[in-house]
Amino acid sequence: MAEVRKEQAQSWASLAFVWTGAMICVPSLLIGGTLIAGMPLWEALLTAFIGYGIIVVFMIYQGMQSSDLQRPTVRVASQVFGEQGSKKIISIILAISCLGWFGIQANVCGVAFSQFLALYGIEFPVWLSSLVWGVIMLLSAIYGIKILNILNYVAVPILLLVCIYALIVSLRDGGLQQIAAYRPEIPLPFLTGLSVTIGSFALGAVIAGDYSQYTKSRTGVVKAAIIGILPSGVLMIAVGAILTITAGTADITSVFAKLGMPVLGVIALILATWTTNAVNAFSGGIAIVNVFNISKEKEKLAVAIAGGAGTLLAVIGILNHFVPIMSVLSAMVPPVAGVMIASYWLVQKGDPSKWHVTPGINWLGVLSWMIGAVIACAPVIVSFFPSLPQLPNQPLIGIVLALAIYLIGRKVTDKRKTEQFNEDY
């Protein structure tokens, strides 16, 4: 473990670049468009700040566990869920979620690139474009955290400049007046906007340990999460919101196409998808390795096979039919953090010496997560049936509920153990 840590140790600034690269993506822009459709700009930005602030808190606690123990999320989870519970339940859900969204985003990138080439009379099939970009993104994940750092050092400054440029252009020629005069037609409740914001990166909060395991200290994890998430997250919401008001769309590629600069737009989309998808593939690969107990020597092969399967599914369009399933799985993931935080920080008081692998399945952890996951999934499932009464979708409910149930269950089991000990002696 010490050798791996020495080779792969990274500074907090490197980790911050990884998080910034993950945040600067097309979905973040679209969330800005969603929020501004029902809120004034100031409220949309406040919602983004609070929502991503909550995400940062969970990322810090998840990340510090892995930094303490020098293990990725699924390995740290082997205490509170049990070794088999982590491998056969949690790892499978994380793997499907990460690699499923990897395939879908590779497909989105492929479509955009083919459309870009079509502007110049070049026919490039979407399936081939998706395959090419999926493989490129996958290669960067196969070669680990060092390559991800290099990718983000290059891509993040470019993406920031492109987004700021789009912002400046959109504010010219009466853009400021449009924003000042803007009033949403149908108000969006603050809590609904908050749930959309939190849900957009809840998966990232849970898997934060996959990257924080290489960070030297808890302080580094804290600085990386705050600086890597909050500024870029709020900026992307602002860009998406302002573009929606001034250009009528949060799609940055469409905006630059209208401005006569399609090359800049497609570069931004490819880089944004690439940096985000590298995170998906890397964490998905770690989860796959844990499921099948793959040796260190074969980890890269496992990531390649798993990511390749996701890419091929995107190429043939099958994953498009799995989006509802992905949405449900994504709702099931956040309560994992609730149980892990309850165990490591509230029961063990953040003491690494108290951590150990639990053989088999730790049913208290699994059941606590399952109850939180079912509650969190209910609004998502109901949303597929518009004729039914809709439920408010609040990802925090599942996390808090799973955390509370685990703590209550732990107190009950500890009390029973004490009573049994007293009876025996």
Structural domain boundaries enclosing 93: 7-413
Q: What is the pLDDT of residue 100?
A: 80
Q: What is the pLDDT of residue 291?
A: 86
Model confidence pLDDT, tens digit, residues 371-385: 999 999 898 888 888
Q: Which amino acid is located at 424 in the chain? A: D
Contact in structure between 120 and 96 (CB atoms under 8 Å): no
Model confidence pLDDT, tens digit, residues 37-84: 999 999 999 999 999 999 999 999 999 999 999 999 999 999 999 999
Q: What is the pLDDT of residue 226?
A: 97
Contact in structure between 130 and 106 (CB atoms under 8 Å): yes
Task: Give domain status of residue 423, yes or no.
Answer: no
Task: Give domain status of residue 1, yes or no.
Answer: no
What's the rounded Cα separation, in Å, for the pair 215 and 217?
6
Q: What is the pLDDT of residue 391?
A: 77
Task: Give domain status of residue 68, yes or no.
Answer: yes
Both tokens of 396, joined, read 């925090």
Task: Give domain status of residue 422, yes or no.
Answer: no
Q: How many domains does the chain have?
A: 1
What's the rounded Cα separation, in Å, for the pair 217 and 423?
44
Model confidence pLDDT, tens digit, residues 392-403: 777 789 999 999
Average pLDDT over residues 141-147: 72
Task: Give domain status of residue 421, yes or no.
Answer: no
Task: Give domain status of residue 300, yes or no.
Answer: yes
Model confidence pLDDT, tens digit, residues 22-38: 888 878 888 999 899 99
Average pLDDT over residues 255-284: 81
Task: Give domain status of residue 418, yes or no.
Answer: no
Answer whether residue 407 shows pLDDT above 80.
yes
Q: What is the CATH number of the domain that holds 301?
A: 1.10.4160.10
Task: Give domain status of residue 209, yes or no.
Answer: yes
Q: What confidence tier does 296 reach under pLDDT thresholds 50, 70, 90?
A: low
